[in-house]
């Protein structure tokens, strides 16, 4: 009986991996016959674990979704990772999961072995989190899980979408990936009406619903979709740009620019450099140039020169 119980736990651990497990492979992993594997699968079903079986050369066994949440088997590092994630989940850009996270963390800590519980508790006691106020945008956890489901099922979805100016349009897309960046969530999708790839902020989406049919996956627009979304959002933030000659070393300028140093800084000599800088508006660029603590001259943008002149006049009137 002890051997059977241990084997069932091992089988359950394998089936929790999201893939199809052919019977012969499970038999080899468990060092038993295929008939024993079938009997063990029946035992798991009796215990409430929904194990699906498919026939054919590509078929096998896999753990499916059921009507109730069965016990999970976690490795030590997996259990610690889940506990740490639950501790930090309330600080993200999702609403409605703070209380659920605390309940789940309490349940998990009750069953953690002492050695793991002490690790989690020590980590919680030794760390603090800096909060810079509430997240700029909050996304309902239900929307995130709904989108994750249609991404996994490769189902076309419709939704209303508001752009940065508030104008709303109806979109019909093939959803491919969810990307988290800071406190914001983005959906990478192929827009069928525009016949092109788009990124959508989840907090600007409304009335999301599946149209009821699936799509054939396309080649992704980039190998790294996180970098792809970061570049797209950078392009939105930097709607305008200009080039200036700064009378300071390039290393000094890069240090002063900090997070604004997303464009090129080209060395001219040890005392000057060319900087191409972007921003939401010419006024924003002019403001940041003003706090570089270095003289500069506008090279290629009359609009930027005008913005610099207006800010200079405003500062002059303040004295």
Q: What is the pLDDT of residues 108-117, one digit of tens each?
A: 776 677 777 7
Mean pLDDT, residues 8-20: 80
Beta bridge partners of 297: 245
SS3 134: coil
Q: Give the domain ranges of the chain.
A: 2-63, 76-126, 139-235, 238-317
> Would you state the pLDDT for residue 164?
77
Please say if the pLDDT value at position 217 is more than 60.
yes
Full-model pTM: 0.56
The pLDDT > 90 percentage for the chain reads: 35
Query: Can you read off the two tokens belonging to residue 237?
Result: 């933030």
Please say if the pLDDT value at position 189 is more than 90.
yes
The CA distance from 84 to 61, in Å, is: 31
The vertex-207 CA angle with 154 and 222, nearest 5°, equals: 40
Mean pLDDT, residues 77-92: 70
Mean pLDDT, residues 250-276: 82
pLDDT band at 247 (very low <50, low <70, confident <90, very high): very high
Regarding predicted confidence, which is higher, 264 or 160?
A: 160
Please say if the pLDDT value at position 218 is more than 90.
yes
Predicted confidence (pLDDT) per residue in 148-176, tens digit: 889 988 999 999 999 877 889 999 999 99
Mean pLDDT, residues 16-21: 78
Please say if the pLDDT value at position 14 is more than 90.
no
Please say if the pLDDT value at position 134 is more than 90.
no
> Would you state the pLDDT for residue 120?
75
Beta bridge partners of 245: 274, 297
Cβ-in-10-Å burial (0-12, 13-18, 19+) of 235 comes to exposed
Top CATH class of 238-317 equals alpha beta
The CA distance from 68 to 90, in Å, is: 25
> Would you state the pLDDT for residue 305?
94
DSSP at 248: S
Predicted confidence (pLDDT) per residue in 39-73, tens digit: 999 988 888 788 888 887 666 898 876 545 566 66
Domain 2-63 has CATH 1.10.10.10: yes
> Would you state the pLDDT for residue 136?
57
pLDDT band at 95 (very low <50, low <70, confident <90, very high): low
Closest C-alpha to 86, from 71, 108, 65: 108
> Would you state the pLDDT for residue 90?
52
């Amino acid at each position: 009986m002890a051997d059977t119980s241990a084997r069932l736990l091992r089988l359950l651990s394998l089936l929790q991996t999201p893939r199809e497990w052919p019977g012969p492979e499970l038999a080899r992993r468990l060092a038993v016959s295929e008939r024993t594997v079938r009997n063990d699968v029946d035992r798991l079903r009796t215990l409430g674990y929904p194990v699906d079986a498919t026939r054919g050369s590509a078929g096998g066994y896999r753990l499916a979704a059921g009507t109730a949440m069965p016990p999970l088997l976690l490795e030590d590092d997996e259990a610690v990772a889940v506990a740490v994630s639950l501790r930090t989940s309330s600080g993200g850009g999702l609403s409605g999961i703070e209380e659920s996270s605390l309940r789940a963390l309490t349940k998990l800590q009750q069953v953690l072995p002492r050695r793991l519980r002490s690790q989690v508790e020590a980590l919680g006691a030794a760390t603090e989190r800096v909060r810079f106020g509430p997240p700029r945008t909050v996304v309902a956890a239900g929307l995130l899980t709904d989108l994750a489901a249609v991404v996994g099922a490769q189902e076309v979805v419709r939704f209303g979408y508001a752009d940065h100016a508030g104008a709303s349009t109806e979109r019909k897309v093939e959803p491919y990936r969810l990307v988290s960046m800071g406190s914001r969530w983005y959906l990478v999708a192929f827009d069928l009406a525009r016949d092109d790839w788009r990124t959508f902020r989840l907090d600007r989406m409304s009335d999301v619903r599946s149209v009821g049919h699936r799509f054939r996956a396309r080649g992704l627009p980039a190998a790294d979709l996180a970098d792809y979304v970061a570049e797209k959002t950078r392009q939105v933030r930097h709607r305008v740009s200009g080039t200036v000659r700064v009378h300071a070393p390039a290393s000094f300028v890069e240090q002063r620019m900090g997070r604004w140093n997303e464009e090129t800084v080209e060395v001219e000599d040890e005392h000057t450099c060319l900087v191409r800088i972007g921003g939401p508006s010419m006024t924003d660029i002019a403001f940041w140039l003003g706090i570089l603590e270095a003289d500069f001259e506008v090279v290629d943008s009359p609009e930027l020169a005008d913005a610099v002149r207006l800010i200079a006049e405003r500062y002059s009137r303040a004295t």
